[in-house]
Amino acid sequence: GNAAAANVLPPLFTQVQLRLANAMQPGVVYTVTAAGVRDCSGNALNTAANSAKVGLAAVADSLDIVVNEILFNPKPLGVDYVEFYNRSNKVLDAANLFFTNRSSTTGNPGTLIPLSTANRLIFPGEYYVVTENPDLIKQQFTVPNEAWLVASAMPSLPDDKGTVLLLNQNGRTVEEVSYDQRWHFALVDNNEGIALERIDFNRPGQQADNWTS
């Protein structure tokens, strides 16, 4: 149906607040479409970009979202990245998810880094990639969907072995992977710029044979 009201928000007027006639339901992915919208010069909104998915974000539980790919030993002048995958049927908010590493000496978690500093939804079956320099990643790798690539501070990811830890807003562990460079394919003699990729979302991330170069 149609929104009961739509208000453009100052001061930049780049956001619209919708008031709905009926409450949104958990677990449902909705599509919002804007029709008849023009800019200040009278140009109509491109119909290829006039809709967006939206939903009510749920709290991520264990393994709802998993580590799917890790680049911990980038090319010279390159940067690390971590790719997450939403394997659940939940809509998740990246602002409510925090990732970090673990100290190799104490085993304690490092400083928590939010996957996003603003509300940003990760829908079921979507990927979400964090890196310090998305432009550099796009130069060095094929990126099929640039919308999933997000600039973020990164924890230290050592070149030999380390840990990626993901927590929800309640501090509960959602996923933890302690990777090792020995998980690479045995015939790879130089793993610079080669990521480890998870083979099966439904198998434990801590199994070395569930990862491939």
pLDDT at 192: 96
pLDDT at 47: 83
d(CA 101, CA 115): 14
pLDDT at 72: 98
Binned average pLDDT, 10 residues per bin, the chain of 213 residues: 92 91 92 88 88 95 98 96 97 98 93 96 97 96 93 97 97 97 94 97 95 96
- The model's pTM is 0.92
Kind of pairing between the strands at 161-168 and 173-180: antiparallel
Please tell me whether residue 170 adopts helix, strand or coil conformation.
coil
pLDDT at 48: 82
d(CA 135, CA 118): 20
Query: What are the counts of helices (DSSP H) followed by strands (DSSP E) for the chain?
Result: 1, 16
pLDDT at 9: 95
pLDDT at 149: 96
pLDDT at 35: 86
d(CA 85, CA 185): 22
Q: Which residue has the tokens 């479409």?
A: 33
Q: At residue 18, what are phi and psi to the nearest 5 degrees?
A: -105, 135
Among 210, 155, 156, smallest CA distance to 183 is for 210
